[in-house]
Amino acid sequence: LYFRKHVPSISFTDISATYTVAYTQLASDIKNGYPAMAFITPNMCNDMHNCPVSTGDQWLQANLPAIINYDAAHNGLLILTYDESLDSDPTNHIMTMFVGPMVKAVRSAQNINHYSVLRTIEQLSGLPLLGKSAGATTITGIWK
């Protein structure tokens, strides 16, 4: 139920075997502490591609509270985003949410895209900018 394009680390043989773990390990990782950077993706049903939205909502309700609580206690940041909107939306307007102790509770009017999210992650992590993220806008106005 997972597609390679939704789990980027699978494409990098030098990291995939060591750092790509099954989703079933998430509860244990939250209990024991997960790494500084964790990329979590639900399967194609729970990410609302191949199943009703209610299935994805149930996955979020079951999983986000533990992640949010862990991040709140460890100064972590949760970024929740989607890869595309409905086919009928030519602007491909998607919801992206940043949750953490360093984020203000605001709704931003800033026009961002996935490259903006990547650039912001790179800058927060002190990493060099990759590819098209170098030309993207950094996400601003949401930080405390």
**Of 45, 76, 107, which marks where a domain is finished?**
76
Does residue 63 share a domain with residue 9?
Answer: yes
pLDDT in tens, 82-107: 776 666 666 667 789 999 999 999 99
pLDDT for residue 133 is more than 90: yes
Global pTM value: 0.81
Does residue 89 share a domain with residue 68?
Answer: no
Does residue 128 share a domain with residue 67?
Answer: no
d(CA 53, CA 32): 31
Q: How many residues does the chain have?
A: 144
d(CA 83, CA 95): 9
pLDDT in tens, 112-132: 888 999 999 999 999 999 999
d(CA 46, CA 56): 4
Tokens representing 62? 């079951």
Torsion sign (Cα): 55, 64, 20, 139: positive
What was the pLDDT predicted at 14? 76
Choose between 93 and 134: higher pLDDT: 134
d(CA 38, CA 52): 26
Does residue 142 share a domain with residue 72?
Answer: no
pLDDT for residue 69 is more than 70: yes
pLDDT in tens, 14-59: 776 677 778 888 888 888 888 778 888 888 778 888 888 898 899 9
| Residues ≥6 apart with Cβ < 8 Å to 53 | none
d(CA 7, CA 15): 12
What was the pLDDT predicted at 90? 63
Does residue 115 share a domain with residue 60?
Answer: no
Range of the structural domain that residue 141 is part of: 85-144
Whose tokens are 């390990």? That residue is 25
* Total domains in the fold of the chain: 2
Tokens representing 105? 């509770």
